[in-house]
Amino acid sequence: MISFFAGLGLGLSLIVAIGAQNVYVLRQGIRRQHVLAVVAICALSDAVLIAAGVAGLGFLLQAAPWLVTAARLLGALFLLGYAALAARRALKGTEEGLRIESTSAKTTSSGLVPVILAALALTWLNPHVYLDTVLMLGSIAATHGEHRWVFAGGAIVASIVWFTTLGYGARYLGKWLKTARAWRILDAVIAVVMLSIAINLLLPVFIG
């Protein structure tokens, strides 16, 4: 269960980070257009990428156990970088609220095919998706040894829960996320969570 909740927490921390994909899901939720298709595409894509990352690194670890330590170091550095970016956004603020407000004002209906293509493009053509799911989550999952698939399961559940909540709860979240202060609070929480996970990854390396 520890590995599951670790994956759940890290998955939520990474996926909640402000980005074009989340803004698009929120936009479709606010407009109430093809929400199920968008949520399914984003969640299933994450599941495939997470599984690929865990499977690939699992084979490598059998041949080179020292990669566990390397995974901890690289994962911690990556998380510290994300924490720094989130903290920077929390201090300076973003324009995401304004973007969401402007998209919510558009009421023109979009066809299913264009919406699906946009969701696929925002997911698979975004380099951060590969860094987060394949490399980042895959590397940290490897540190959980035989429980790495439990960790992956937690991360996949986090993806499903987040996109479902974001898509179908958008009519309520939209109003809350229109303010710059709300986005700053969200980024501050992300920074704290990522920093704490990075510290937990580094402790076994330096303490033994």
Q: Which two tokens stand for residue 123?
A: 């997911």
Q: Is 130 exposed, middle or buried (0-12, 13-18, 19+ CB in 10 A)?
A: middle
Give the model's pLDDT for residue 107. 46
pLDDT digits (tens, 9 = 90+) for 34-58: 999 999 999 999 899 889 888 876 5
Give the model's pLDDT for residue 163. 93
Q: What percent of the chain has pLDDT over 90?
A: 12
Q: How confident is the model at residue 122 (pLDDT cuts 50, 70, 90)?
A: confident
Mean pLDDT over each residue of the chain, to the nearest integer: 79
What does the chain come to in residues?
208
Cα radius of gyration (the chain):
18
pTM confidence score: 0.67
Please compute the mean of the pLDDT values over residues 106-122 and round it to a whole number: 78
Task: Please give the Cα distance from 141 to 4 (Å, whole number).
Answer: 10
pLDDT value at 118 more than 80: yes
| Residue (of 60, 34, 52, 22) closest to 137 by Cα position | 52
The H or E element spanning position 16 is: helix 2-16
- Spell out the residues 6+ positions from residue 196 whose beta carbon is closer than 8 angstroms to its own: none
Question: Considering its fold, how many domains does the chain have in total?
Answer: 1
Quick one: DSSP state of residue 133?
I
pLDDT digits (tens, 9 = 90+) for 131-171: 777 777 887 887 887 888 898 888 899 899 999 998 998 87
Q: Which structural domain range is residue 21 located in?
A: 2-207
Give the model's pLDDT for residue 144. 83
CA dihedral 18, 152, 62, 135 (to 10 degrees): -10
pLDDT digits (tens, 9 = 90+) for 67-113: 777 777 887 887 788 889 889 888 887 655 545 555 544 444 568 89
Q: Is 142 exposed, middle or buried (0-12, 13-18, 19+ CB in 10 A)?
A: buried
pLDDT value at 62 more than 70: no
Give the model's pLDDT for residue 95. 57
